[in-house]
Amino acid sequence: MAFLSDEKIKEFQKKANDIRQSIIEMLVEAESGHTAGPLGMADVFTLFYFHILKHKPQNPSWEGRDRLVLSNGHICPVLYATMAHSGYFPVEELKTLRKFGTRLQGHPHREYLPFIENSSGPLGEGLSQAIGMALADKIDKKDKDRFIYCFMSDGELDEGNSWEAIMLAGKNKLRNLIAVVDRNNIQIDGYTEHIMPLEPLADKWQAFNWHVIEVGGHDFKALNEAVEEAQEIFEKPTVIIVHTIPGKGVKEFERDYKWHGIPPNKEEGEMALKELRNKL
């Protein structure tokens, strides 16, 4: 990866802010969708699509690309917004989110939007999909050529299938597999540690033979260093637990689990956009 300068960090902060504005505009137009997670992960998606990933927006099927598997498909507004801002499709198309016939379904659908690597919605399945890709690369001896990234939520770690996948990846020492867990501490019914406590989360992953990194999810420099470290681990898969603020950027939404699964109305959207536009 290229060196991340202070100038680049400022550029990415501005880009992430633009993406957050697009997320709000999409959700207001759709009158449906998830707010907290997409806003919270905007910095992570920005860094990946504009700095980390090997990909070609003008040639999405390029065989040499890294794979980014989104497991928690409900945060797809941030995926769509980031892809549009990086050139996969027109930004104007974002306003079609959840509309009849749109390519931008409420949960990602690969048949409608072939630029994405997987369809997702049911939680706990994305890591298994990513493991399949990583295993195929290992068999084909391509596991030194690219990385398979799997973005996950902390809440979906309530799913038993997630832990079966974690165990399988550790057993097979999938060195080109990097999981990114959004540790925002909320899920649709409340706070994760009230619903089904996950801690000590890092210790659990480590016990399944994963290299574990914990980092702040809004610190571009630290995030970049975490991914660099993950890419240098060759004897096992790596998980990066990113601690994010759900609803990041809009004080009214931040850290409130109630915004997990609802969109802002028109007035709330105007308030949020005004706050975001005044930040940079």
Please say whether the dihedral angle defined by the alpha carbons of residues 127, 132, 133 and 135, taken in this order, is positive or negative: positive
Residue 279: band (very low, low, confident or very high) from pLDDT cuts 50, 70, 90: confident
Within-domain flag for 272:
yes
Count the neighbouring beta carbons within 10 Å of the beta carbon of residue 236.
Answer: 18
Domain span at 226: 6-277
How do beta strands 177-183 and 148-153 pair?
Answer: parallel
3-class secondary structure, 144: coil
What integer is the mean pLDDT of 155-168?
Answer: 97
Q: pTM for this one? A: 0.97
User: Does residue 28 belong to any structural domain of this protein?
Assistant: yes
> Does residue 157 form part of some domain?
yes
Integer Cα distance of 155 and 187 in angstroms: 6
- Inside any domain, residue 1: no
What 3-state DSSP class applies to 187? strand
**How does pLDDT run across 14-36, given as a tens digit for each residue?**
999 999 999 999 999 999 999 99
Q: Is the pLDDT of residue 1 over 80?
A: no
* Environment class of 213 (CB within 10 Å of its CB; exposed 0-12, middle 13-18, buried 19+): buried
pLDDT at 200 over 90: yes
**What's 176's domain CATH number?**
3.40.50.970
Residues in a beta bridge with 148: 67, 177
Residue 43 lies in a domain: yes
Residues 35-78 have pLDDT tens digits of 999 999 999 999 999 999 999 999 999 999 999 999 999 999 99
For position 184, what pLDDT does the model report?
Answer: 98
Nearest to 211 by CA among 244, 166, 156, 243: 166
pLDDT at 3: 80
Largest CA distance in the chain: 54
For residue 47, the Cα-to-chain-centroid distance in whole angstroms is 11
Residue 30 counted as domain residue: yes
Q: What is the C-alpha radius of gyration for the chain, rounded to an integer number of angstroms?
A: 18
Long-range contacts (CB closer than 8 Å, 24 or more residues apart) made by 206-209: 208/163, 208/166, 208/167, 208/169, 208/170, 209/170, 209/171, 209/173, 209/236, 209/237
pLDDT for 121: 86
Mean pLDDT of 146-154: 98
Report whether pLDDT(136) > 90: yes
The chain-wide mean pLDDT, for the chain, equals: 97
Residue 149 and residue 66 in contact, taking contact as beta carbons nearer than 8 Å: yes
Q: How many residues does the chain have?
A: 280
* Whole-number pLDDT of residue 23: 98
For the chain, how many structural domains are there in total?
Answer: 1
Q: What value does the mean pLDDT take over residues 98-109?
A: 97
| 233-277 pLDDT tens trace | 999 999 999 999 999 999 999 999 999 999 999 999 999 999 999
Confidence of residue 2 (pLDDT cuts 50, 70, 90): confident
Q: Give residue 82's pLDDT band: very low, low, confident or very high (50, 70, 90).
A: very high
The pLDDT > 70 percentage for the chain reads 100
Distance CA 78, CA 98 (A): 14
Per-residue pLDDT at 63: 94
Tell me how far apart the alpha carbons of residues 261 and 275 are, in angstroms, rounded to a whole number. Answer: 21
Whether cis (ω within 30° of 0) applies to the bond prior to 77 is no
Write out the two tokens for 227.
Answer: 């991914």
